[in-house]
């Protein structure tokens, strides 16, 4: 029962809306039995629609994103159907142009001199070991110092990205575990419903 409670509390957070279309009378009877096991928050996100479902779907989903077999205008048959097409915000020209601009700006920063860092950042706070060099230093020595400074900055950036990735990975693992638990709970509920239906048939 505890697993079912967890599933009822967390599944609605990941589910925005669920439409069950062309639901026949047999499913409607089954749905009444299933509803008893679901939390009210989950039930508000699920709509069971009969054969006149198009008007309800169009209220929520733009017809250009609704597949043609559901009464919409989307015809992605060239790509294997709407679900297999690569249609999405990631292909929006405005968004890709904005991302490209940001990427180009980062590359310029990586190629620029010290990127506006102060001396403590450039030398990882170790300003005591800096030697003051005379005017006789060659351009080659100065270039080597600049390369070392950039390498320190890149190491710091890589470390920060690595830490962020590890945190994201840990969060993803936790979510996967909770989804697995929710899936097991759903399986148990469905098995219970199947048994209940079998008993009702007798």
Distance CA 5, CA 80 (A): 38
Distance CA 105, CA 22 (A): 51
- Give residue for tokens 């159907």: 81
Helices 139-201 and 2-14 pack at an angle, to 10 degrees, of 120
Return the higher-pLDDT residue of 58 and 117.
58
Residue 15 pLDDT: 66
pLDDT in tens, 159-175: 788 888 888 888 888 88
Structure tokens, 58: 């169009």
Section 11-16 average pLDDT: 63
Return the higher-pLDDT residue of 23 and 115.
23
The closest of 49, 48, 74 to 63, measured between CA atoms, is: 74
Is 0.85 topped by the overall pTM? Answer: no
Distance CA 69, CA 22 (A): 12
Residue 131 pLDDT: 46
- List, in sequence order, every residue forming a beta bridge with 20; answer none if it has no partner: 48
Q: Domain limits of the chain?
A: 143-201
The closest of 86, 82, 85 to 72, measured between CA atoms, is: 82
Section 75-90 average pLDDT: 62
């Amino acid at each position: 029962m505890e697993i079912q409670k967890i599933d009822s509390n967390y599944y609605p957070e990941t589910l925005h809306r669920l439409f069950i279309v062309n639901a026949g009378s047999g499913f409607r009877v089954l749905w009444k039995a299933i509803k008893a096991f679901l939390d009210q928050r989950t039930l508000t996100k699920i709509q069971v629609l009969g054969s006149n479902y198009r008007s309800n779907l169009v209220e929520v989903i733009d017809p250009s994103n609704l597949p043609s077999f559901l009464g919409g205008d989307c015809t992605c048959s060239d790509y294997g159907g709407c679900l297999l097409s690569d249609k999405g915000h990631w292909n929006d020209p405005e968004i890709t142009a904005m991302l490209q601009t940001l990427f180009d700006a980062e590359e310029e920063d990586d190629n620029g001199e010290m990127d506006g860092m102060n001396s403590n950042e450039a030398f990882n706070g170790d300003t005591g070991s800096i030697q003051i060099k005379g005017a006789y230093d060659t351009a080659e020595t100065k270039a080597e110092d600049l390369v070392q400074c950039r390498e320190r900055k890149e190491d710091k950036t890589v470390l920060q990205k690595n830490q962020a990735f590890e945190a994201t990975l840990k969060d993803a693992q936790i979510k996967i575990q909770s989804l697995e638990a929710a899936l097991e709970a759903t399986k148990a509920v469905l098995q219970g419903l199947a048994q209940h239906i079998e008993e009702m048939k007798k």
